[in-house]
Each structure stands twice: as structure tokens, then as C-alpha cells.
């Protein structure tokens, strides 16, 4: 009886500690407030400094400046921004002359898109889906939160040139965790819906990307959760829409957009 009593007490103790571990692991008892330590205005400032440093000092980041490309991206981004409605960020999309299929967000509303990604898309609605995903990272303040965690506010705003270069490298190579990717995807699906763009376009983009680039580059932010792309595609396909929902297509000459990019790439 004594052994049985001790055994039961040990089981209860183990169960107690298991419950405590589960509560602290899975429930936000102490929510992460890192991002609240810095205002949007300060985040925009650090983003501006990072972008300026990258474009000025890193030859691999060559910006494409073309009026047709800029106006086309403005049409897409404005529709998404209007769908968000109450954003605190002044979004700026920069196209880089790079054949890789890639895009990433930077603090303060900056989104870098590689020309290779635009050339890979079939329709402007697919690019809108990718941009909406990157907007999700910005709206949820994933990147600035990560930078503060790893560097601290004082270092981030030290103004030291050497530190600035490292911050830029860190910002352009940040890997988001699964939770952050899910949040960005959820934001993208909801934003596309509000913008009268079918969330299916996010699924078609990821599905074709996975299919055509099986040996993917792990540095591509949009493929960081590649092993889980099936669940991401499934979530997009299962997103509930009204029965009479119809995508309002962009009035954009997409082939001309790609042609302009090719001309810029060959300069």
C-alpha cells in the first residue's frame, strides 16, 4: 500500500509540473511586449537608415527605378493598404534588380521585391498576395521585435556605422518562426479578401513555387517554412469566402510590366 501511495503521489506531482510547463509554454501568461518599447515613428526611422545604408553600400542591392514599374506597384499596394484601413505605416516598395524569386520586409513599412519574383508570377494578383504576406510581418512588427530582442534598443539606435552595417545584414537575413509565418499568412488572406482578391492566389503562388523549385534556396524568406507549404496552401484554399465572391482583377498590363523589368535587368 505504501509503495502504491508513493507511486500515486509521484504521478500527481509529475502531472502538476506537466500542467505548469504546458501553461507557461503554450499560453501567453507573460506576453511579449518587446515591440511596444519602440514607437512606429522610431521604427520607421531605423528602417529608413537601414534601407539607405543597404542601397548605398551593398552593390548586390541595385534598385530599379522605372516609372511604369513604380506606378504599377502603386496600384497594387494602394489597394492592399486601403483594405487594411487603419495602418500606421507609410509603405514603400522597392524593386531590386535580382533574378532570384524573393521578397522581404524591413522595419517601418519597407518591402523589397526582387525582379525575379515579379517575372515568376502569372498575374498581378499573385504579387499582391506576396506583398500582403510581407505587410503582415510589418503590421505584426515581427522584424523590429526580433532586432530589439537580439540587439537591444540602445545598440539599435547607437548610430555607430559598424553596428549599422550589421543591423542591415541581420535585417535582410532574418528567419521568422512558424508562428510569425502563420500570422503573416493569416493577415495576407484577410487583407486579400477585403481587397476583393481571392486568397487562392496565395495558394497558387506557393504551389507553383514549391513545384518548380524543389531544391529551393533556404535564404528565401518566402520559403522559410517550405516543409509546411502544404498546410499553408491548404489554409488559403479553405479560406471561407462569400458564395458570390468574385475577384476584382487589376487593370494592369502584366506582360508590359515584365518586359520593362527585363529591359531594366539588361541595362
Per-residue pLDDT, 245: 94
- In the prediction, which pLDDT does 34 show? 43
| Tens digit of each residue's pLDDT (9 = 90 or more) over 37-60 | 678 898 898 888 889 888 988 888
% residues pLDDT > 90 (the chain): 47
Instruction: Flag the least confident range among 51-55, 85-89, 108-112, 178-182.
Output: 178-182
> Radius of gyration (Cα) for the chain, nearest Å?
22
> Residue ranges of the domains in the chain?
39-247
Instruction: Please give the pLDDT value at position 218.
Output: 45
Residue 95 phi/psi, 5-degree rounding, is: -95, 130
pLDDT tens per residue across span 90-102: 999 999 999 999 9
The three-state DSSP-derived secondary structure of the chain is CHHHHHHHHHHHHHHHHHHHHHHHHHCCCCCCCHHHHCCHHHHHHHHHHHHHHHHHHCCCCCECCCHHHHHHHHHHHHHHHHHHCCCCCCCEEEEECCCCCCEEEECCCEEEEEHHHHHHCCCHHHHHHHHHHHHHHHHCCHHHHHHHHHHCHHHHCCCCHHHHHHHHHHHHCCCCCHHHHHHHHHHHHHHHHHCCCCCHHHHHHHHHHHHHCCCCCCCCHHHCCHHHHHHHHHHHHCCCCCCCCCCCCCCCCHHHHHHHHHHHHCC
Q: What is the pLDDT of residues 148-177, one digit of tens each?
A: 887 776 777 666 666 666 777 777 777 777
- pTM of the model as a whole: 0.80
Is the pLDDT confidence value at 29 over 90?
no
What per-residue confidence (pLDDT) applies to 68?
95
Would the pLDDT of 26 be above 90?
A: no
What does pLDDT average to over the chain?
81
Amino acid at each position: 500500500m505504501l509503495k502504491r501511495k508513493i507511486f500515486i503521489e509521484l504521478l500527481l506531482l509529475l502531472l502538476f509540473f506537466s500542467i505548469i510547463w504546458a501553461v507557461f509554454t503554450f499560453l501567453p501568461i507573460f506576453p511579449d511586449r518587446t515591440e511596444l518599447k519602440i514607437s512606429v515613428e522610431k521604427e520607421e526611422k531605423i528602417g529608413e537608415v537601414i534601407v539607405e545604408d543597404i542601397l548605398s553600400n551593398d552593390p548586390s542591392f541595385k534598385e530599379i527605378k522605372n516609372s511604369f514599374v513604380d506606378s504599377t506597384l502603386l496600384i497594387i499596394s494602394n489597394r492592399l493598404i486601403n483594405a487594411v484601413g487603419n495602418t500606421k505605416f507609410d509603405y514603400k516598395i522597392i524593386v531590386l534588380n535580382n533574378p532570384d524569386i524573393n521578397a522581404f520586409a524591413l522595419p517601418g513599412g519597407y518591402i523589397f521585391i526582387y525582379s525575379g519574383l515579379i517575372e515568376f508570377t502569372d498575374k498581378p494578383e499573385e504579387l499582391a498576395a506576396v506583398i500582403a504576406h510581407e505587410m503582415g510581418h510589418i503590421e505584426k512588427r515581427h522584424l523590429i521585435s526580433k532586432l530589439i530582442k537580439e540587439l537591444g534598443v540602445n545598440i539599435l539606435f547607437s548610430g555607430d556605422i559598424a553596428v549599422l552595417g550589421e543591423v542591415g545584414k541581420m535585417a535582410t537575413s532574418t528567419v521568422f518562426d512558424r508562428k510569425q509565418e502563420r500570422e503573416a499568412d493569416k493577415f495576407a488572406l484577410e487583407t486579400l479578401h477585403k481587397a476583393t482578391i481571392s486568397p487562392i492566389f496565395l495558394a497558387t503562388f506557393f504551389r507553383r513555387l514549391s513545384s518548380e523549385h524543389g531544391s529551393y534556396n533556404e535564404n528565401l524568406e518566402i520559403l522559410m517554412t517550405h516543409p509546411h507549404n502544404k498546410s499553408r496552401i491548404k489554409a488559403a484554399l479553405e479560406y471561407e469566402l462569400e458564395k458570390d465572391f468574385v475577384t476584382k482583377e487589376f487593370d494592369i498590363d502584366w506582360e508590359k510590366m515584365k518586359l520593362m523589368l527585363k529591359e531594366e535587368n539588361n541595362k
